[in-house]
Amino acid sequence: MKVLIVGGGGREHALAWAVARSEKVSKIYVAPGNGGTAMMGGKIENIALKATDVDGLLQFAHDVSVDLTVVGPEQPLEAGIVDRFSDSGKKIFGPTREAAQLETSKVFAKDFMRRNAIPTASFEVFRDHGSAKDFLESTTAFPQVIKASGLAAGKGVIVAENVEEALLAIDDLFEKRIFGNAADEVVIESFLTGEEASIFVVTDGSDYRFFLPSQDHKRIGEGDTGKNTGGMGAYAPAPLVDEAVLEKVEQRIVIPTLEGMRREGIPYTGFLYIGLMIENGEPSVVEYNARLGDPEAQVVLPLLDSDLVGIIEASLNGTLGEAAFWMKEGSATTVVLASEGYPGSYETGREITIGPVLEDMDDVLLFHAGTSFDGRKLTTSGGRVLSVTAEGSSLRESIDLAYNAVGYVSFDGLYYRRDIGAKALS
């Protein structure tokens, strides 16, 4: 079968790698892909179409008789790619535009959680500067978390430590419009304390299966300091999510979410991310994503010991409960190599050197994100450039293997955190 993967980041490279392992698949197209998918060769080919070019992607799928499309990022979901493909008779994996509102509208997600008694932070919704200002000036409970409701490339969340910071934040959102239309509605919610974890499920709308729980490292600096990023590394499984916590997540969050979506007439099919805050063993939802996370996909997919394509097909057919779904023993760690200056401004076009010894390293994978390959030279093209992933029999072993492999990659301005997984070890 022919598979089209939509997207061009590290998550999509990991998806291409996982899909390529299936004996069912003869050809994989990645649109637009990156330098890593361009270098995979064989049955994998990059297609020069943007992930948001729904018309072009649909026409391409018809032209080359694509059998299955898998959507990686959130923007095409918001653009209704699943609806368009399905209406045209093309098989596609991901939530509909309406179901994807769990991610694309924080107002929808928070109201949905309130309606379905799903544990989350208390919140208020504002649609103008004045009412938000009045609320912030009347409260003494800080920090407050201020969120643009729409998609803002993972940057639309501001934690205000005091009223002055909060007022500056809403001025940025409502008056300066730093996130454009994404801040037409703003959610202000109470600050949750605890430790974060990432839960991923694959679902056919009724049945569901858990990937191993993971933990992302969103801050740019070691010790979780500095600005938020798209993620500087991850590991799985996360010991924070033990069996008792996972049972609570299943009963209080996953089941009510899927049942609530079905009850409201918008059943959810696809990958679902649940960002958690866990305090004293009690989980609360920070946010939903209508997709696999990045860089978490780079650790949960290598630990999947079943055919991903078979799992996706079963989900689309409504038979996920009958599909083989096994996870490996052991752990995986990924370390993100970023461009100097990220998540602010940074230079691109810097040549990347990868030591050939990496190809001979067992249990080490290199997933590309912000890279370009012209057939001769590999260069940087983004803020997060590469994810170095390693599997090990223990978390300690996977961390050591990943950091050892990092030493064989170089480019001018390379930056990475040196403490991925340290919280779990301590």
b/e per residue 199-235 (b: at least 16 CB within 10 A): bbbbbbbebbbbbbbbbbbbbbeeeeeeebbbbbbbb
Does the global pTM surpass 0.85? yes
Tens of pLDDT, residues 279-294 = 999 999 999 999 999 9
- Which tokens sit at 413? 């301005």
- CATH 3.30.300.30 for domain 2-94, yes or no, is no
- CATH 3.40.190.10 for domain 195-322, yes or no, is no
Residue whose entry in the numeric block shows the structure tokens 């033990």: 242
Rounded percentage of the chain residues whose pLDDT exceeds 70: 100
194: exposed, middle or buried (Cβ count in 10 Å: 0-12, 13-18, 19+): middle
Tens of pLDDT, residues 5-26 = 999 999 999 999 999 999 999 9
Of 227, 231, 104, 74, nearest to 158 by C-alpha is 227
Kindly list the domain boundaries of the chain, sorted by start residue.
2-94, 128-184, 195-322, 331-425
236, 394 Cβ separation under 8 angstroms: no
Q: 128-184 architecture in CATH?
A: 2-Layer Sandwich (3.30)
Find all residues with CB under 8 Å of 191, minimum gap 6, and list them. 121, 142, 143, 144, 145, 159
CATH classification code of 331-425: 3.90.600.10
Torsion of CA 53, 295, 200, 99, to 10 degrees: -20
Rounded percentage of the chain residues whose pLDDT exceeds 90: 95
Of 3, 318, 275, nearest to 147 by C-alpha is 275
CA dist., res. 80 & res. 95, Å (int): 9
**Helix or strand (DSSP H, E) at 423:** helix 422-425
Confidence of residue 227 (pLDDT cuts 50, 70, 90): confident
Find the mean pLDDT for residues 44-60.
98
pLDDT at 362 over 90: no
Confidence of residue 228 (pLDDT cuts 50, 70, 90): confident
Find all residues with CB under 8 Å of 404, minimum gap 6, and list them. 390
Beta-strand (E) ranges in 8-122?
27-32, 44-46, 68-71, 92-93
Tens of pLDDT, residues 296-307 = 999 999 999 999
Find all residues with CB under 8 Å of 60, minimum gap 6, and list them. 4, 29, 31, 47, 49, 66
290, 100 Cβ separation under 8 angstroms: yes
